[in-house]
Structure formats: C-alpha cells, structure tokens
C-alpha cells in the first residue's frame, strides 16, 4: 500500500467558546477577531517543517488539500506548498510523490493556469506529480469564487478535458468551449510524465456517478473518512467495487485512496491523553462547523446524485452531530484511529484489506495539535506503523497504475491518451 502524509494548515488557536460565538468555520469567521499574525506565520512555517519531517520519515508522497476562506485549512493553493516540497525533496534526494489533492476544477476560471502550475510541479520534481482534481465544495466554488451552482459540474467537465489536452497535445490547438475560449493553446512546460500523463485522482463523497466516471476514465478515486469510516465505509467502498465489477473493471486496490485521521503513542491510554482534545477541536470547530449548505448544493451534485442522497443520507455518517461529538464518539465511528503502534497497525490493516484500499492518506496533524506533538506523531507512525502497512497488497501482485513511473508506478496497459472534449464523460 502507498501511504501519503496528508497536510492541512489549520489555525490552531481558535477560542474555547468558538462554537457558541460563531456560526461556522468558513467564509464568515472573523479573521482579525480570532487570529494573530505571529500564529498565522508559525502555522505555515510549521506545516512546511512537518511536510519535510514526513518526507524524511519515508512516506510515499506528500498530499496537500486546497481550501479558501477557511479557518481549518489556510492553504488556498496547495501547489505553492508542494513547490517548496518538490524543490526541497529534490535537493535532498528524497524519492517521494508530490500530490496536490485539490485543484478544484469546478470552481476554476483559469484551468490553463492550473494545468501550467501542475506541469511545473512535475518538472521541478523530476516526474513525481500525482494530480488531484476534486469538483470542489459548494462554499468554495459558489461563494468564494462566485460560480453559479448550476455551472459547477459543467465547468469541471470542461476544465478537466482542457487540462488533459493542454498537458499532452503535441500541436498548438484552439479551444472553443462553453466557459473558455482560447485561439491557441500551447502551454510551457508540459509534464515530464507523458505516458499518457501524470496520474489523476478525483476525490468524491460517494456519489455513484463520480465512481463510474473514475472507473470509465481510468482515474483513481479518493474518499475522505471524516464522516466515520466504521459508519460509512461499507456503503462507500462496496459501492465502488460493485460498480467496477458491473463495468468489467479490475478490482485493483491501487485505484482506491482513503484519508484517515490517525494518532499514535506508546500505549492506547497515552494516545488518548495526548490527542483527544486536539481531535475534538478539529471535528467540533473545523469540519463539524461547516453547515451542510456550504458543503453541497444542487449543481455541484447532479440530479441523480441528489436523488441518491435524499433517498438515504447515510453517506454523511456522523456529520450531523460532529459539532458536539466527543472523542469517544469519534473513535467509535472511525473518524479517528488512535492508539499504540500495534493498535493502529491492526486497525489500518483490517479496513485496508476489507475495503481494498491501496492508498492511505494519513492525517497526522490536525486541529490544535502543537507542532512538536505532530512531529512525534509523524515519527512514531513512520517508525512503527508505516513499514508494516506499506507491505499490504504486495502478496497479490497488482501493478500500481496511478503512481508516477519514476516512483515505481506502471502505466496501464490500455494506455489511453488524454481525452478530448468530444469524448467528455459527465462526472457526478
């Protein structure tokens, strides 16, 4: 199994009574009222330190998310942090993947800029880029970027075709799309990876149409476990593999990625003592303080996806009570795995095998967790968990078709070239 280090840049010092004073953790949170410049500065310096600490500890890639106007993640463009990581790891000779999990194409008004930035990352890192293209959360696409909700999905559909063609087309070409018109497209640089292009993952909440889109297009699929993997895992992962079987695709575990919040200490009791309050901070003041209408609106989710959600909202797991959830409830739901190295190894191995997960995104710094405690968490995980779980799936002999070739990935034998707008498949 490939194991990435998953990084966000949270503001770690929100007031204790945040939930009583403020309605949400995004958009309207009053910046100057709750932050101080020195703590914002240290948040970014510490995030970069943690990224390099993880790279040196042997993680297979550095995965970073994108969120605008957010107190729980102050990184509006992951490519900036990834560029620093790409250069530093190149300079130190560390062979780790550069994995921006999000350049949200549903909100993008400059998809060619995203294509250029990612191509530049691939060039800086010597072909180590893995590209993540989420559709985008409603609050980011529709409020932060002013995209009408009904256009979010349509823009994603067009933008991903334009990015792929801009990466791989040998000739200068015009683009006459619904949202973008370019007389001549010929970006410099192009990605070093041209067989057929850098690996692509799409992150989704479990909509079956998104899963079918990934399977049909040969993209990887990511699911984030904040809603409680013990509650939602069976529903989400079985749905993906049932779709793969129905579409005649392999059940190659490397096509599936999963993000899990994890904390590890010498004993189970010590882990709870060290990390419980930081986990509660994260889920109560960050993820749990995003109103549902900020997460999803019609348009970003197509009508069939909405029908699916309305029939059965179980895919959202414990989200409705997350703002008041205790550490015990978070652990019981699987939103957090916390314990000794043996406990963490056992739980990760069990669900990875059960749900055929070939890529784990380990979130080891979250909420108010201090910098040194985060580094301890990364170190102990790297020393006593990582080497064991990296062996998962080596016994089945699958090739990883969604990983850079310079890092051991194997291009898919079908090897289809980047698609054009004429063969666009609607993502949901």
* Averaged pLDDT, 409-427: 57
User: Taking 60 as the threshold, does the pLDDT of residue 175 lie above it?
Assistant: yes
- For 2-407, CATH gives 3.20.20.30
Residues 6+ apart with CB under 8 A from 32: none
> Could you tell me the residue ranges of all domains in the chain?
2-407
Q: pLDDT, tens digit, for every residue of 68-85?
A: 999 999 999 999 999 999
Q: How far apart are CA 79 and CA 259, in angstroms?
A: 19
Sign of the torsion formed by the C-alpha atoms of 48, 52, 57 and 63: positive
What's the chain's average pLDDT? 92
Omega before 196 within 30 of 0, i.e. cis: yes
176 φ/ψ angles, rounded to the nearest 5 degrees: -125, 75
DSSP SS3 for 360: strand
Q: pLDDT, tens digit, for every residue of 178-232?
A: 999 999 999 999 999 999 999 999 998 888 888 999 999 999 999 998 888 888 8
User: Which value, to the nearest 10 degrees, does the dihedral of the CA atoms of residues 371, 374, 379, 385 take?
Assistant: -170
User: Which value, to the nearest 10 degrees, does the dihedral of the CA atoms of residues 304, 107, 238, 357 take?
Assistant: 170
Instruction: Give the pair of three-digit tokens for residue 65.
Output: 């998310």
Grade residue 415 by pLDDT with cuts at 50, 70 and 90. low
> What does pTM read for this prediction?
0.94
Percent of residues, the chain, with pLDDT higher than 70: 95
Contact between 135 and 156 under an 8 Å Cβ cutoff? The reply is yes
User: What local confidence, expressed as pLDDT, does residue 225 receive?
Assistant: 84
Q: How far apart are CA 10 and CA 12, in angstroms?
A: 6
Neighbours of 130 (CB within 10 A): 31
Strands (E), 255-331: 256-264
User: Taking 60 as the threshold, does the pLDDT of residue 292 lie above it?
Assistant: yes
Percent of residues, the chain, with pLDDT higher than 90: 76
């Amino acid at each position: 199994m490939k194991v990435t280090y998953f990084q966000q840049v949270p503001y770690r010092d929100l007031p204790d009574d945040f939930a009583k004073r403020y309605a949400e953790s995004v958009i309207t949170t009053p910046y100057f009222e709750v932050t101080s410049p020195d703590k914002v500065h240290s948040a970014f310096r510490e995030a970069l330190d943690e990224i390099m600490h993880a790279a040196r500890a042997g993680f297979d890639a550095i995965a970073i998310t994108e969120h605008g106007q957010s107190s729980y993640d102050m990184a509006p463009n992951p490519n900036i942090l990834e560029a620093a990581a790409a250069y530093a790891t190149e300079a130190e000779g560390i062979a780790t993947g550069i994995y921006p999990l999000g350049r949200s194409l549903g909100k993008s008004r400059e998809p060619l800029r995203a294509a250029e930035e990612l191509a530049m990352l691939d060039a800086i890192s010597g072909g180590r880029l893995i590209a993540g293209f989420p559709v985008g959360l409603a609050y980011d696409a529709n409020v932060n970027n002013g995209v009408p909700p009904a256009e979010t999905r349509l823009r994603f559909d067009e933008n991903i075709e334009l990015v792929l063609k801009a990466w791989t087309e040998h000739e200068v070409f015009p683009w006459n799309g619904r949202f973008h018109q370019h007389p001549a497209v010929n970006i410099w640089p192009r990605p070093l990876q041209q067989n057929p292009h850098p690996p692509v993952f799409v992150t989704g909440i479990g909509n079956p149409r998104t899963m079918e889109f990934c399977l049909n297009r040969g993209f990887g699929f990511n699911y984030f476990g904040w809603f409680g993997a013990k509650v939602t895992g069976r529903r989400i992962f079985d749905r993906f593999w049932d779709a793969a079987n129905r579409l005649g695709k392999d059940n190659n575990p490397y096509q599936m990625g999963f993000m899990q919040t994890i904390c590890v200490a010498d004993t189970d009791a010590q882990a709870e003592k060290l990390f419980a309050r930081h986990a509660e901070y994260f889920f109560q003041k960050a993820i749990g303080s995003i109103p549902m209408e900020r997460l999803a609106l019609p348009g970003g989710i197509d009508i069939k996806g909405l029908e699916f959600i309305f029939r059965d909202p179980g895919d959202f797991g414990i989200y409705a009570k997350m703002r008041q959830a205790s550490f015990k409830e978070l652990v019981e739901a699987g939103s957090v795995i916390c314990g000794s190295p043996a406990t963490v190894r056992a739980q990760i191995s069990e669900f990875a095998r059960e749900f055929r997960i070939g890529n784990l995104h380990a979130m080891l710094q979250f909420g108010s967790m201090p910098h040194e405690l985060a580094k301890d968490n990364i170190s102990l995980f790297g020393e006593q968990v990582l080497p064991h779980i990296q062996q998962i799936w080596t016994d089945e002999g699958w090739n990883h078709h969604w990983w850079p070739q310079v890092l051991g990935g194997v291009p898919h034998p079908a090897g289809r070239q980047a698609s054009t707008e004429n063969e666009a498949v609607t993502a949901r």
